[in-house]
Amino acid sequence: MRGAQPRSNLFKRGIATAPTGPRNDLVKDRLPVPELCEQETQLITTVVGNYPKIPDMPAPGKWRSAVEKFQKGQLTEAELRQVEDEVTLEAIQDQVDAGVDLITDGQIRWEDGQTHFARRLRGLSINGLQRYFDTNIYFREPVAEGEIAWVEPISVRDFEFARRHSPRPVKPVVTGPFTLARLGRNAYYQSGREFVLALARALNAELRALQEAGAEIIQVDEPALCRYKQEYPLFAEAMTVLVDGVNTKKVLCTYFGDVDGMYPQLLQLPFEVIGLDFVAGYRNWDVIARAPFTKTLMCGILDARNTRLETVDEIGRAIRRITDVVPPDRVMVAPSAGLEFLPHGVAKRKLQRLVEGTRAASQALKGVQA
Amino acid sequence: MSLPLLPTTAVGSYPKPAYLLEARRKFLRKHLSKEELTELERRATREWIQIQEDAGMDLLVDGEQYRGDMVAYFADEMEGFAIAGLVRSYGNRYYPKPVVVGPVGRRHPVTVEWFRYAQSLTSKPVKGMLTGPYTIAEWSFNEHYPTRRELVLELARAIHQEVVDLQRAGARYIQIDEPAIHTRPEEDFDLAVEAMEIVTDGVGAYTVSHICYGDVPKIYPAMLKLAVNQLDLALKNEEFALLETFKKSPFTKDIGLGVVDAHSHRVESVEEVANGIRRTLGVIPAKQIFISPDCGLKTRTAEETVGKLRNMVEATKLVRKELTETRNRGIAETRTAPR
Ligand SMILES: [Zn+2]
């Protein structure tokens, strides 16, 4: 009986009925409740992170207009932040309306995954635009020019804001030290290893700050791992430094590739949940069959980078393939990457389909078990 | 008419004047007819041709005043595409991303009329300008083709027809932009090479491919396999660091040498640009070099663009003069040298 096993996934209970508004303690109280048997096969849905900031054409969207006005000096920074808050609430609402169980704040305030953190750490400057992996979007390259140090919380305010306004549990996301280093440049440290470890120490303080603020689960994004597999030993070392003293549930999220060659070693990392991309990283289908998946799997099975909507049937087949290898109570279903690669309307439909497909698959699993 | 040593040229786009930006906005709101918009696009094209002539450039471009985005423009004009919506590229910059919804192909020539028009304005040669099949595929969503390969090769056949039509219309220089070509070098580079072979198959015109923003060393020297005469590359934005790559394995094609940064506001001085060219001459022979900005200049202001083009031409003239003097001195020394 799976009911007797320790559940690594504590997010399913009571989520749908949670009240809105301030609910710090409610979440804390709710999370450790014992599992109920009939909900065993209720698969959890979640997202990787970012979400479109503007509505579909032809509306320019208030965020885009606000940024333009801010750049022309017609809007104060406080007014721009206000608009970002409003757009964040809309991103939260889209996820809640779709029925996603574990949401993010949509990363509306992130310029890009690198700059958002690098700008607020000491020792890093921000350089020119670089292409973000194999996408057609860009980020600014962080450059280490001095001793890297954490100065103040970077994402805590945003996490608290989202949690205050979300009826669903909110998962803060931090770009990992390995990806920050790999997409950055080291002009200070003696070695690349020192650069990565310095970032890991700095971000450890950020994770601790999120823990302090009451986060029950924290996601660390490390897409660069799929591109620089040969550096896995350094990656593992950095992860140990990163999560030192952090006792929340932790998600290690990879995307844009597979983890072939690093599995099952990956399962020894100090994370309860591992996120894998089954679209760009289609090899992951074979990879996870090679050894028992002993953690919770956040499986990215809806293509976050193509507009084609997966059918409920396709999602069901993919989930069945996953649950053949990983017990359903240790599966979270997600898109393959952040949804900001898509126009707003499509992103919203992907969320709806994610939930629709996952619920249908849960029903089917229940049928099998009954 | 032949080109001088170190011909000066450009990558493609120039900034749109304020009146054209305003007209495009009005057109979107249906406050302006297609004809009125086209007339203003022609006016802007005339102005840019004039600016390039005044600057003393040798091989001109039409400035792409009639295009919004380099992929969406082709998608709009071709069969099989729709526009999926706006996707953010950086900051608050968004682009309309196309989606392939059916078999792709040409309805009619896409760029030939604009080429004819631009060429009619000048006695200098004007380049025909196309976006390559790999980049169109890579920068579109795909809801129709089961594999990227099928889509890329079908697009290659369509772009090939466009190349043939441009050539028939008198284009002697045709550029096929592939800024996305190094997206998945391990998986896809052979596909990009195969596609370019289809695009330029049997073409007599001089062909160029512009490649930018990405890890060029990763696809070098494999990129020399691309079936074009010239590769146009951004050297300046990394301060000519690519020369180290070219030292390891000789650059066997012509190079379009990016000597001014397309993404900085600063106008490089004549001496700074000349130095970049001089450094390159130590690695690639002068007869293989075309002089160009790093990339399209559409994100610069008109003043920055004109400044960069002018200094690029002046620097090139300076280096040409030095090369001629060195050669003359060399000849003189040979003549007087004791046998
Ligand atoms: Zn370019």
Q: How does DSSP classify residue A7?
A: P
Q: What is the mean pLDDT of residues A229-237?
A: 98
The residues, ordered by sequence, that sit 6+ positions from B207 with a Cβ below 8 Å of its Cβ are B163, B173, B174, B175, B176, B200, B227, B228, B229, B230
Sheet containing strand A173-175, strands side by side: A44-45, A331-335, A296-302, A273-277, A249-253, A217-221, A173-175
Q: What share of chain B is helix, strand, coil (3-state, %, to 5)?
A: 45, 20, 35
The mean predicted confidence, pLDDT, of chain B is 95
Give tens-digit pLDDT for B253-286. Answer: 999 999 999 989 999 999 999 999 999 999 999 9
Give chain B positions within 8 Å (CB) of A56: 85-86
Q: Is residue B339 predicted with pLDDT exceeding 50? A: no
A59 touches chain B (CB under 8 A): no
* Interchain CB distance below 8 Å, A308 and B213: no
The mean predicted confidence, pLDDT, of chain A is 90
* Among B76, B88, B147, B219, the residue to mutate for chain A (most A Cβ within 10 A): B88
Measured CA angle at B135 (ends B130, B141), to 5 deg? 125
Q: What percentage of residues in chain B have a pLDDT greater than 70? A: 98
* Interchain CB distance below 8 Å, B141 and A111: no
Mapped onto helix, strand or coil, the DSSP state of residue A259 is coil
The pLDDT of residue B331 is 76
Q: Is residue A31 predicted with pLDDT exceeding 50? A: no
Amino acid occupying residue A168: R
How far is the CA of B17 from the CAs of A41, B26, B44, B211, B297, in angstroms? Answer: 61, 14, 7, 26, 13
Q: What share of chain A is helix, strand, coil (3-state, %, to 5)?
A: 45, 15, 40
Tell me if B37 is assigned to some domain: yes
Dihedral of CA atoms B13, B19, B21, B25 in degrees, nearest 10, equals -150
Provide the shortest C-alpha distance from residue B29 to chain A (in Å): 9
* Residue-range definition of the domain harbouring residue B251: 18-336
Give residue A254's Cα distance to chain centre. Answer: 9
Report d(CA B75, CA B84) in Å as an integer.
11
Give tens-digit pLDDT for A297-315. Answer: 999 999 999 999 999 999 9
Nearest to B90 among A129, A306, A343 (CB): A129
B90 touches chain A (CB under 8 A): yes
Report d(CA A281, CA A296) in Å as an integer.
18
Confidence of residue A40 (pLDDT cuts 50, 70, 90): low
> What are residue A149's DSSP bridge partners?
A122
Contact B72, B30 (CB under 8 A): no
Provide the shortest C-alpha distance from residue A130 to chain B (in Å): 7
Nearest to A306 among B88, B92, B141 (CB): B141
Provide the shortest C-alpha distance from residue A5 to chain B (in Å): 42
* Interchain CB distance below 8 Å, B94 and A54: yes
Going from the Cα of B211 to the center of ligand 1, the distance in angstroms, rounded, reads 6
Going from the Cα of A6 to the center of ligand 1, the distance in angstroms, rounded, reads 54
* DSSP strands (E only) in chain A: 44-45, 121-131, 138-150, 173-175, 185-186, 217-221, 249-253, 273-277, 296-302, 331-335
B180 touches chain A (CB under 8 A): yes
Report d(CA B28, CA A335) in Å as an integer.
34
Q: Is residue A208 predicted with pLDDT exceeding 90? A: yes
Q: How does DSSP classify residue A39?
A: G
End-to-end distance of chain B based on CA atoms, in angstroms? 39
Tell me if B13 is assigned to some domain: no
B299 touches chain A (CB under 8 A): no
Tell me if B3 is assigned to some domain: no
| CA gyration radius, chain B | 20
B170 touches chain A (CB under 8 A): no
Give chain B positions within 8 Å (CB) of A68: 92
Q: Is residue A104 predicted with pLDDT exceeding 90? A: yes
Give chain A positions within 8 Å (CB) of B263: 128-129
Provide the shortest C-alpha distance from residue A131 to chain B (in Å): 7
Q: Is residue A10 predicted with pLDDT exceeding 60? A: no
* Among A136, A139, A283, the residue to mutate for chain B (most B Cβ within 10 A): A136
Give A 122-151 residues with CB within 8 A of chain B. 128-131, 134, 136-139
Provide the shortest C-alpha distance from residue B120 to chain A (in Å): 35
Report d(CA B221, CA A331) in Å as an integer.
45
Give chain B positions within 8 Å (CB) of A134: 183-184
Report d(CA B81, CA B124) in Å as an integer.
35
Give chain B positions within 8 Å (CB) of A111: 90-91
Amino acid occupying residue B152: V
Unique residue bearing structure tokens 């293509």: A303
- Give me the number of domains chain B comprises: 1
Report d(CA A155, CA A162) in Å as an integer.
11
Give chain A positions within 8 Å (CB) of B178: none
Contact B106, B162 (CB under 8 A): yes
Q: Is residue B154 predicted with pLDDT exceeding 80? A: yes
CB-based burial, B180-197: b 16+ in 10 Å, e otherwise: bbbbbbeebbebbbbbbe
Give tens-digit pLDDT for B74-122. Answer: 999 999 999 999 999 999 999 999 999 999 999 999 999 999 999 999 9
Tell me if B10 is assigned to some domain: no
Contact A220, A252 (CB under 8 A): yes
Q: Is residue B246 predicted with pLDDT exceeding 60? A: yes
Report d(CA B57, CA B305) in Å as an integer.
13
Tell me if B173 is assigned to some domain: yes
Burial class (CB in 10 A: 0-12, 13-18, 19+), A283: middle
* Interchain CB distance below 8 Å, A343 and B86: yes
> What are residue B232's DSSP bridge partners?
B210, B256
* Interchain CB distance below 8 Å, A129 and B263: yes
Tell me if B7 is assigned to some domain: no
pTM: 0.89
Which value does ipTM take for this structure? 0.87
Q: Is residue A11 predicted with pLDDT exceeding 60? A: no
Amino acid occupying residue B195: A
Contact A241, A200 (CB under 8 A): yes
Give chain B positions within 8 Å (CB) of A307: 84, 99, 141, 143
Q: What is the mean pLDDT of residues A106-116?
A: 97
Q: Is residue A29 predicted with pLDDT exceeding 60? A: no
Q: CB B153: neighbour CB atoms within 10 A?
A: 17
Q: What percentage of residues in chain A have a pLDDT greater than 90? A: 84
Give tens-digit pLDDT for A123-143. Answer: 999 988 888 998 989 999 999
Tell me if B1 is assigned to some domain: no
Q: What is the mean pLDDT of residues A198-213?
A: 98
Q: What is the mean pLDDT of residues A107-126?
A: 97
Going from the Cα of B213 to the center of ligand 1, the distance in angstroms, rounded, reads 7
* Interchain CB distance below 8 Å, B84 and A346: yes
For residue B108, give both structure tokens: 């009619």
Going from the Cα of A45 to the center of ligand 1, the distance in angstroms, rounded, reads 40
Confidence of residue A41 (pLDDT cuts 50, 70, 90): low
Cα atoms found within 13 Å of the Cα of residue B330, Cβ hemisphere only: 6
Nearest to B85 among A57, A67, A306 (CB): A57
Going from the Cα of A5 to the center of ligand 1, the distance in angstroms, rounded, reads 56
Q: What is the mean pLDDT of residues B29-47?
A: 97
Q: Is residue B320 predicted with pLDDT exceeding 70? A: yes
Provide the shortest C-alpha distance from residue B168 to chain A (in Å): 33
Nearest to A136 among B92, B96, B139 (CB): B139
Contact A290, A331 (CB under 8 A): no
Give tens-digit pLDDT for B183-242. Answer: 888 888 999 999 999 999 999 999 999 998 778 998 999 999 999 999 999 999 999 999
Tell me if B5 is assigned to some domain: no
Contact A301, A350 (CB under 8 A): no
For residue B141, give both structure tokens: 């969503």
Q: CB A9: neighbour CB atoms within 10 A?
A: 22
Main-chain phi, psi angles of B69, to 5 degrees:
-115, 145
* Interchain CB distance below 8 Å, A54 and B97: no
Mind listing the domains of chain A with CATH numbers? 2-369 (3.20.20.210)
Give chain B positions within 8 Å (CB) of A340: 87-88
Question: Strand pairing of B78-90 and B93-106?
Answer: antiparallel
B87 touches chain A (CB under 8 A): yes
The CATH number linked to B110 is: 3.20.20.210
